Chain A
Amino acid sequence: MTFEKILTDVEDRRRRLVVYSSVDDPDIVDQFTVRNVSIERRSLPGETAQGFVVVRDDEFVGSIGLEELRLLMEPPLAPPWDETVIGEAYRALYELLDDTLFVSLERRQLLGASRELENRAWNVGSGTLRAGFQRFSALETQLPVYTRLARDTDLEIHVYSEDEWQPTSEPGFTYHGEAHDDIGRFWFLSFDGDGDDRQMGALLAEERTPDEFFGFWTYDPALVTELSQIVEEMAD
């Protein structure tokens, strides 16, 4: 199993997204370039200022207002322990669009999804969190967050990057400098929920062009486990 294979598996999970709006082409929908989801448009009476999106597989999965969806595309930047930003609502938004293959995620959008997963880890306070950084500079930016997660919780944190580095010793914090090619190509994050299926989550994205990512996040326990195993094997 490889990262590539996981992306292919997610591509097979088909979904429908139906956009209800009085505007023919709400600008928020333009930002939704997705691979495994068909997007349909249905009109609402012209006078309404409201619009919403319905997500379906064979059945209704969930819905969200178009304005609320904006949060996903332009997430606020806050640390994972900031409950005023990353609360129930934030989580619901990511749960609605899990297993969706986004074709062109920006760094900020992936950071938003990462924060949601880190918030789960912070709240559970134990279990294993694995995070892969394509570049050491990206790791340096996020280091204060991960240092605090290690210091203030019982989480086992494993951080991966291609570069050799000797971090200052911190209980619960392990650094892996790996030569594996995929480490440099993918942004990944996984949290095992410390055994609680409902708290598990992972994210995988490939930087196909500079600053443009192809990937998804998931709360499917089987997929999270699979992804974690791949990461573990890389580090063997």
Chain B
Amino acid sequence: MTVDDACDTCDTGDDPVVRRVDAVSDDVFTAMQHRDRRYTLYFLLEHDGTSVDELADVVTGWTHVGEYGMVGRADWTRVYTALLHQHLPMMESAGLLVFDREGGVIDRTEWSPSLVRIVRLAHNAETNVHAG
């Protein structure tokens, strides 16, 4: 399922303007409300797929950059649990990724150019500390 397919299932009312081919669904913006889900999408800009374990490593490590404090196993477990039970299922419903629960494997779906643009824009704003 692609992001555009996902949009076909959204309630878009009667307004034909919202139904453009490259439109990005509300689900995408909802997905991007949470920092852990945004960093998941940022990582998927670079990698077609990953494991839940690595994703938990990445989200934990990346969201604590700039802090000198101890980032340890407890932080990781919190991130991992939320990814597994909350964020990944939600992003899967939004059509952003496919999540194989048994294998613990995540694959990015085919993202539309507008979705890639939006994720990249958010990534650049949020992770480029020098961009001001």
Q: How far is the CA of A47 from the CA of B121 in the complex (A)?
A: 10
A20, A61, A62: which contacts B58 (Cβ < 8 A)? Answer: A20
B76 at the interface (CB under 8 A from A): yes
- Supply 16 further A-B pairs (C-beta < 8 A) apart from A18-B57, A54-B61, A60-B56: A43-B46, A45-B42, A45-B127, A47-B123, A48-B123, A48-B128, A49-B128, A49-B131, A60-B72, A62-B72, A62-B73, A68-B67, A88-B69, A89-B68, A91-B70, A96-B70
Most chain A beta-carbon neighbours within 10 Å: one of B46, B60, B68: B68
Within 8 A of B (CB), among A32-68: 42-45, 47-54, 56, 59-65, 67-68
In contact, A45 and B45 (Cβ under 8 angstroms): yes
Within 8 A of B (CB), among A71-119: 71, 88-93, 95-96
From B68, which residue of chain A is reached at the shortest CB distance? A89
Residues of A with C-beta under 8 A to B60:
54, 60, 63
In contact, A63 and B42 (Cβ under 8 angstroms): no
Within 8 A of A (CB), among B56-98: 56-58, 60-62, 64-73, 76
Q: How far is the CA of A102 from the CA of B70 in the complex (A)?
A: 21
B61, B67, B123, B128: which contacts A20 (Cβ < 8 A)? Answer: B61
Residues of A with C-beta under 8 A to B61:
20, 52-54, 63-64
Interface size grouping (class) on chain B: 20 to 34
Q: How far is the CA of A217 from the CA of B131 in the complex (A)?
A: 38
In contact, A47 and B128 (Cβ under 8 angstroms): yes
Min CB distance B49 to A, Å, is: 13
Min CB distance A173 to B, Å, is: 33
Min CB distance B40 to A, Å, is: 13
Q: How far is the CA of A161 from the CA of B96 in the complex (A)?
A: 64
Looking at chain A's contact residues, is the secondary structure mostly helix, strand, loop, or mixed? mixed
Chain A residue total in the interface (Cβ 8 A):
33
From B124, which residue of chain A is reached at the shortest CB distance? A47
Residues of A with C-beta under 8 A to B128:
47-50
A47, A61, A65: which contacts B120 (Cβ < 8 A)? Answer: A47
Q: How far is the CA of A50 from the CA of B62 in the complex (A)?
A: 8
Min CB distance B83 to A, Å, is: 13
Residues of A with C-beta under 8 A to B71:
62-64, 92
In contact, A60 and B123 (Cβ under 8 angstroms): no
B47, B57, B67, B127: which contacts A49 (Cβ < 8 A)? Answer: B127
In contact, A50 and B69 (Cβ under 8 angstroms): no
Q: How far is the CA of A95 from the CA of B128 in the complex (A)?
A: 28
B129 at the interface (CB under 8 A from A): yes
In contact, B127 and A62 (Cβ under 8 angstroms): no
B57, B58, B66, B123: which contacts A68 (Cβ < 8 A)? Answer: B66
In contact, B73 and A61 (Cβ under 8 angstroms): yes
Q: How far is the CA of A11 from the CA of B56 in the complex (A)?
A: 28
